[in-house]
Amino acid sequence: MCPCSLVIPEKSADFPYPVEALLPHSQGMVLLDRVLEAGEDHIVVELKVRDDGLFSSADHTVPAWVGLEYMAQAIAAFSGYHRKNRGEEIGLGFLLGTRHYQCSAGCFPCGTGLRVRVEKIIEASNDMSVFDCALEGGGINAASQLNVLLPQDSKKFLTGKGI
């Protein structure tokens, strides 16, 4: 397990934003269900593994590598939460890579409830960050570090003006 321990409250207080308002994803690609808590350097989200065909297989499971997407979306929610609190527009982020993704299962059974905690451990001046990530639920544990780029202005970055 990563150093980011998965300490999660039993029940969420009323979080000020729905998770969809924090992500730049279209509705069908939002895989998270809600934010449980957020702080200066972390966020905790939860989801139910969906059986909608997007990632699910005929055997009603989702491959364990989708855990990386759950973690990446949690980071996007973290970024969106802080941007929204500063009055900024929600921007795109980019998953650059992962270190040592470990998962105790080869797949996630559809319907399983999972909680994901991500904690920022490094933030560089060039908009690159590293997050410790932990996922658990239904007897499944996964952990990784994700390297991401969270440009201040993703539109400028995509046109090459933010490089």
At 127-145, the pLDDT tens digits run 999 999 999 999 999 999 9
How many domains, in total, are found in the chain? 1
Whether 12 is in a domain gets the answer no
At 47-94, the pLDDT tens digits run 999 999 889 999 999 999 999 999 999 999 999 999 999 999 998 999
Whether 91 is in a domain gets the answer yes
Whether 122 is in a domain gets the answer yes
Q: What is the average pLDDT across 19-43? A: 93
Query: Which CATH number covers residue 39?
Result: 3.10.129.10
Whether 118 is in a domain gets the answer yes
> What's the predicted TM-score (pTM) here?
0.88
- Which of 6 and 22 is assigned the larger pLDDT? 22
Give the whole-angstrom CA distance, residue 10 versus residue 83.
27
Whole domain around residue 93: which residue ranges? Answer: 27-158
Name the strand (E) or helix (H) holding 99. strand 94-103
Lowest-confidence pick of 44-48, 71-75, 104-108, 149-153: 149-153
Residue 161's pLDDT band (cuts 50, 70, 90): low
Name the strand (E) or helix (H) holding 78. helix 66-85
Token pair 């300490």 is at which residue? 7
Whether 56 is in a domain gets the answer yes
